[in-house]
Structure 1
Amino acid sequence: MSSWADLTTGRRIKHLRGSDLTQQGLADAAGVSLALVQKAEQDRGELSVGSLLKLASALKTDVGVILGQQAPRRGMNRTDRAALRQLSDAVHDSALGEWEGIDDPSSTEELATARDLAWSAFWSGDSAKLSSLASKVLMEGQVRYESATGAERQRLGLILASTYRVAASCATGFGQRDLALGALTSAKLHARRADDPVMMALLESTLSWIYLRSAKMSRAVSVAERAALSIEPSFRNAPRPQLLAYGRLMISAAVAASRHEDEAAADDYISQAHAAAARLGRDEKLWGTAFGPTAAKTEAVGIHVALKNYGRALKLANQKDMADVPRQMSKVARNRYKLDVALAQCAAGLYDQAADVLIEVGLDAPEWVRHQALPGVIGRRIARVSTAKVRHISDVIGMPLIT
């Protein structure tokens, strides 16, 4: 058989479906029409990101596999596979109490620093560094937590909850849903023991993202909305951590609603996020989560792209105060925003600009790009006017975008 990247998207879907699942069965499992599955397997028309997510979830694979960016079971490189194995061992062993042999765990301050560095590694797309740091915190942190009391035990609990959360976020990015949910379960346990509503709210934001990546749009919205209501601030005198968590939850709800094509709800949620950002007045970070005016503006662009309001998305992206936004963002957030802009540029016929953006992203974060749906979607739209240009982009960034 030809290499996985050489197959068309339709042939990949048919291969993943196999002989045990009919086209109607796939349609039912994905919650899409039979006609959509038939057209997809015949390579007729474009699949939306929402449809790709639903099909990937039903086929128990990642979007990148369907698009040929990675092969089934062998899509990750050796470094990422090793990182995920290490992370999985640490998540499960620490939760089960299998930490024998750690006689001299790091101090609480050292663990907090390692936790922060793990989050920095996540936002820069360095899975190996993230895994190493998170594993250290989970194993050594659990040892210290067991013997700690009072304020130190509470602080260690929050350090562990945040570290389990970054493990869940990393696993979600690689399509490892079960590992993500396992890590988040342990994170919630520690957050409840610490009795910290802000941490609980941030964990629900991560759960919303897991549901979104699993194409469970309604659950993604309801989780974020429910958590936001539990900490809804009085904007006049709300603590800043509460505003940050509330704003991030409103963004989670808005993103999920936009993928569910509920424009009215998405607009309402993003308006609430803007209000929280305005009250904060500046970008802030808490336990690996960034929120403020920058996040509200850039996420609004992505939400309008998902709703196919491409003109509105480009109008927002082209505002004067957005010119320097990418410089302020982490590598992952910056490139996610750029891909949204490139997709809107394709819709507006600005294919050369979109191609330049795709090259920027591919060179800036090559491994992260392989696990994203949008590069393949953008590549196929550029291919409508120039397959040669897309092949050039593929050669430059080292990843096939079309077959």
Structure 2
Amino acid sequence: MSNWADLSTGKRIKHLRGSDLTQQGLAEAAGVSLALVQKAEQDRGELSVGSLLKFAAALKTDVAVILGQQAPRRGMNRDDRAALHHLSEAVHDSALGEWEGVGDPSTLGELSKARDLAWAAYWASDSAKVSSLASKVLMEGQVRFNSATGFEREQLALVLASTYRVAASCANGFGKRDLALSALTSAKHLAKEAGDPVVSALLESTLSWIYLRSAKTPRAVAVAERAALAIEPSFSKPARPELLAYGRLMISAAVAASRREDEHAADDYLSQALAAAARLGRDEKLYGTHFGPTAAKTEAVGIQVAVKNYGRALKLADEPEMQKLPRTMSKVARNRYKLDVALAQCMAGLYDRSADTLTEVALDAPQWVRHQALPGVIGKRLAKVSVARVRSISELIGVPLIA
């Protein structure tokens, strides 16, 4: 274990705050009370996920750093750093027109296929593949887009917008908010030129997630709600793409509201998402976005966990259709759901089941789980029952869950 991992959470927060920022200053920057900052730095009690997000945003770091899963500036492994560096160059160079040296670009069909493969790699948590494929589409696609006209130009704009979006999603997952926002800005310009309201709506869903990861929950809710209202379909004769986008945006609003522990608003948004999912009748995928009955129900579990309705979350998770998730469900979505279940199990005192669920995630997605906040939160709670079990899970993940 590194020295950083050996520190307590309180000492990490104090170290990140440094001498230039007072406790009162941190409280104001994070939007929390001075008492909570003092309590956190003295390691009195446990911080909620919402509080951890606020501290991470105020300290300009990631939750994983505060929890000791990653060290400051050295948290990512070499492959992830290389992938993000490659992706960053492609995002900025392509948007700035710095594509000299790119030879004969791929066809529209080839670029569309590469875009789809980039999204598949994202949902499989393969950042190196996302970077390679997205970089190809952005550089070659911009070359072709620059000289295209008519229908081909519109279709290239859609392909590029969706590819910038997967780049933004990948960057946001690693806590690289500036890169995510840069990619999303380019995506918005292209979506506007293409004139596709569904793509534009899905970009707002990603923006809502970026705000959520930055602990800007009011903005996350507002962005998702505004975009949903703009694309709200007629439920008598709904168009399926609009229905999918609307449902996904309602989920984004519900998740953000739940992080504010606004149970009433979260339930309202969630009910709209569930209604949209029921109208779809099956899980569908569009421009890298998955939505339908399974997506809505698994997100519902996480929303109940966030508002501390652990019994309700477990009741939903125990429903027959949730016992065998479809094979089409992505690795990232499946394991994000399982982390929510593991936390609910832990909070309900089902420690062995929680540890088993967390182990499943660690074995299924060891690279992805390193960048998530919940394993550290769950690990600290499980350690009160069995430190040895938590340390064995830490070895599977490759990062410490407890100091």
- TM-score class, shorter: over 0.9
Corresponding position of 2:169: 169
Q: Secondary structure at the match of 1:355?
A: helix
Once the two structures are superposed, the pairs formed by residues 11-50 of structure 1 within 5 Å of their partners are 11-50=11-50
Contact 1:326–1:334 (CA under 8 A) maintained in structure 2: no
Contact 1:313–1:341 (CA under 8 A) maintained in structure 2: yes
Q: Distance in 2 between matches of 1:340 and 1:97?
A: 42
Give TM-score, length-normalised by structure 2. 0.99
Corresponding position of 1:124: 124
Once the 2 structures are TM-superposed, how far is the Cα of residue 326 of structure 1 from its aligned partner? 5.9
Corresponding position of 1:337: 337
Aligned residue type for 2:254: A
Q: Secondary structure at the match of 1:236?
A: coil
Once the two structures are superposed, the pairs formed by residues 386-401 of structure 1 within 5 Å of their partners are 386-401=386-401
Q: Distance in 1 between matches of 2:101 and 2:391?
A: 52
Once the two structures are superposed, the pairs formed by residues 256-275 of structure 1 within 5 Å of their partners are 256-275=256-275
Once the 2 structures are TM-superposed, how far is the Cα of residue 103 of structure 1 from its aligned partner? 2.5
Q: Distance in 1 between matches of 2:168 and 2:396?
A: 32
Corresponding position of 1:74: 74
Q: Distance in 2 between matches of 1:326 and 1:50?
A: 30
1:93 aligns with 2:93: yes
Q: Secondary structure at the match of 1:47?
A: coil
Aligned residues, how many? 403
Corresponding position of 2:279: 279
Aligned residue type for 1:205: S
Distance change (3 Å), C-alpha of 1:4 and 1:39: same
Aligned residue type for 1:98: E
Corresponding position of 2:189: 189
Contact 1:161–1:188 (CA under 8 A) maintained in structure 2: yes
Select between 374-383 and 1-10 the one with higher mean Cα deviation. Answer: 1-10
Aligned residue type for 1:280: L
Contact 1:116–1:288 (CA under 8 A) maintained in structure 2: yes
Q: Distance in 1 between matches of 2:327 and 2:291?
A: 15
Corresponding position of 1:369: 369
Select between 245-254 and 353-362 the one with higher mean Cα deviation. Answer: 353-362
Contact 1:70–1:76 (CA under 8 A) maintained in structure 2: yes
Q: Distance in 2 between matches of 1:308 and 1:207?
A: 25
Q: Distance in 2 between matches of 1:285 and 1:316?
A: 23
Once the 2 structures are TM-superposed, how far is the Cα of residue 387 of structure 1 from its aligned partner? 1.5
Select between 52-61 and 392-401 the one with higher mean Cα deviation. Answer: 392-401
Q: Deviations for 1:142-190, whole angstroms, at most 9, x for unmatched residues?
A: 0000111111110000000000000000010011001000000000000
Q: Distance in 1 between matches of 2:326 and 2:300?
A: 14
Corresponding position of 1:295: 295
Corresponding position of 1:160: 160
Once the two structures are superposed, the pairs formed by residues 123-272 of structure 1 within 5 Å of their partners are 123-272=123-272
Q: Distance in 1 between matches of 2:126 and 2:171?
A: 13
Once the 2 structures are TM-superposed, how far is the Cα of residue 327 of structure 1 from its aligned partner? 3.8
Aligned residue type for 1:200: S
Q: Deviations for 1:50-73, whole angstroms, at most 9, x for unmatched residues?
A: 000000000000000000111100
Q: Distance in 1 between matches of 2:394 and 2:79?
A: 22
Contact 2:367–2:397 (CA under 8 A) maintained in structure 1: no
Q: Distance in 1 between matches of 2:220 and 2:44?
A: 30
Once the 2 structures are TM-superposed, how far is the Cα of residue 386 of structure 1 from its aligned partner? 1.6
Once the 2 structures are TM-superposed, how far is the Cα of residue 396 of structure 1 from its aligned partner? 3.1
Select between 135-144 and 95-104 the one with higher mean Cα deviation. Answer: 95-104
Q: Distance in 2 between matches of 1:126 and 1:188?
A: 25
Contact 1:369–1:375 (CA under 8 A) maintained in structure 2: yes
Contact 1:207–1:220 (CA under 8 A) maintained in structure 2: yes
Runs of 4+ in 1 over 6 A off after TM superposition: none
Aligned residue type for 1:94: S
Q: Distance in 2 between matches of 1:359 and 1:100?
A: 47
Once the 2 structures are TM-superposed, how far is the Cα of residue 370 of structure 1 from its aligned partner? 1.1
Question: What is the root-mean-square deviation in Å for CA atoms of aligned residues?
Answer: 1.0
Q: Secondary structure at the match of 1:325?
A: coil
Q: Deviations for 1:248-296, whole angstroms, at most 9, x for unmatched residues?
A: 0000000000001111110010100011001100000001000000000
Contact 1:160–1:187 (CA under 8 A) maintained in structure 2: yes
Aligned residue type for 1:331: K
Q: Distance in 2 between matches of 1:236 and 1:224?
A: 23
Distance change (3 Å), C-alpha of 1:2 and 1:154: closer
Query: Structure 1 unaligned runs (5+)?
Result: none
Q: Percent identity?
A: 80
Aligned residue type for 2:336: R
Q: Deviations for 1:366-392, whole angstroms, at most 9, x for unmatched residues?
A: 111111100000001111212222112
Contact 2:70–2:399 (CA under 8 A) maintained in structure 1: no
Aligned residue type for 2:342: A
Q: Distance in 2 between matches of 1:162 and 1:112?
A: 10
Give TM-score, length-normalised by structure 1. 0.99
